[in-house]
Amino acid sequence: MLALVAITSIGLVAYSYLLYPLVLVIFATAAQMLRDARYPLHKRDRRLQPTDDLPPVAVVIAAYNEERHIAARIANLRCVDYPEALLNFYIGSDGSSDSTAKILAAAGEARLHGFAFDTNRGKASVLNDLVARVTEPIVVFSDANTLFDRNAIRRLVAHFADSRVGAVSGELRLRSAAQGHNQDSLYWRTEQFLKFFEARIHGLLGANGAIYAIRRPLWRPLAPNTICDDFCIAMNVAAAGHRLVYEPQAWAEEDTPETIGEEYRRRVRIGIGNFQALVWHPEYLVRTTPATRFTYVSHKVLRWIGPHLLLVSVVASSALAPTAPRWAAFAGLQIAGYTAAALLYVASERGVRLPSLLRIAAFVFALNWAFLVASWRFVMGQYSGSWRRSSR
């Protein structure tokens, strides 16, 4: 029994990181072939058709201590290619202690609805307040440090011509930080790859918080201490029976965190939000489509509990070590591998320039360590809906 536990635990992690992408591509390719085969029979063009029948859109942004970015963000929104009469901006300052609220007040933009909340309550509470003020049928969510491509909103909105579509996620492109040692850009490119093929089988998970849109009637207020608001907002749409769509041509930009350590701290916070979603929202597993359940377990759940599975494998194989040399070797290899990855992470944090392959190992360690710490903090209730500034 212990042998089965040891092998299965590490096998599930290997499946999520290594085998799942291959299985996903196979399924997505088969699904695309079936859609292509139907085309000669139905003669319907599957490409999005340009239209001048554009709906009113609200861009909603919650900001906290964003004086470095907020002016550029407003200027960026002004330059978006969308009819001015149909586009409004709702930006809320969440009790910022810097000049964010003053910059909003002085913006002089008629389409900007700025709100300076006195108390720092957390992003979810600000989003609840802002969306409650929105009357437009389409809501585009973004961040204060994000910059939209000029055509981003048009490309998001085009998908809502299909009544089955409830939410559309755009693509975030990360700008590399000068002298940065972080591998988040590589990880993000991998995530974009998976997102593209998950969308092909109608199993897209959540949305990219920097750029996504939903139908206003599908909005569900968030619990005040919700951390992964973008994931929950989009998954609420999926659980209500509507499709999530990925549009990579609707893109936005942000800076990559300069160090793995900065990314680790961000990942701990996101990890807590992941466990919130897993425990608080069982409907994501029982009320979504079979494709969404498949991608959710394979891509998200197994990764969130990945470090726990690795620890279980180490404990089980160590318990078997006295019974056979192969189990002693298996346990030793695991412990040595995790120790080496931890040392690489420490070296990277101390400014050591590592080769690319070793930086990836350090990043994967930081990611899994963050999930482990996040699970403990979630269980202990050591979190809140407030936030800290970071480059992402």
Q: List, for residues 103-135, the tens digit of each pLDDT value.
A: 999 988 899 999 999 999 999 999 999 999 999
pLDDT at 308: 98
Residue 49 in this model has a pLDDT that exceeds 90: no
Q: What distances in angstroms separate CA 205 from CA 123, 126, 233, 289, one per listed residue?
A: 21, 23, 11, 11
Q: How confident is the model at residue 180 (pLDDT cuts 50, 70, 90)?
A: very low
Residue 72 in this model has a pLDDT that exceeds 80: yes
Q: What are the structure tokens assigned to 174, written together?
A: 């990360």
pLDDT at 187: 77
* Spatial distance between the Cα atoms of 291 and 141, rounded to a whole number of angstroms: 25
pLDDT at 266: 83
Q: What distances in angstroms separate CA 272 from CA 128, 278, 343, one per listed residue?
A: 20, 10, 25
Q: What are the structure tokens assigned to 193, written together?
A: 């790859």
Mean pLDDT rounded to a whole number for the chain: 90
List, as one string, the DSSP characters of 219-257: --PPPTT-S-HHHHHHHHHHHTT-EEEEEEEEEEEEEPP
In terms of Cα–Cα distance, which of 113, 64, 110, 120 is closest to 84? Answer: 110
pLDDT at 359: 87
* Spatial distance between the Cα atoms of 242 and 194, rounded to a whole number of angstroms: 20
Average pLDDT over residues 265-281: 94
Residue with structure tokens 């963000």?
A: 73
Q: Report how far Cα 30 is from the mean position of its chain's Cα atoms.
A: 26
Residue 14 in this model has a pLDDT that exceeds 50: yes
pLDDT at 380: 92
Residue 178 in this model has a pLDDT that exceeds 50: no
Q: List, for residues 293-348, the tens digit of each pLDDT value.
A: 999 999 999 999 999 999 999 999 999 999 999 999 999 999 999 999 999 999 98
Average pLDDT over residues 9-15: 97
Average pLDDT over residues 45-67: 83
Where do the domains of the chain lie, and which CATH numbers do they carry?
Answer: 57-256 (3.90.550.10)
- DSSP state, 176? P
pLDDT-wise least confident of 40-54, 64-78, 193-207, 337-351: 40-54
Residue 17 in this model has a pLDDT that exceeds 70: yes
pLDDT at 353: 87
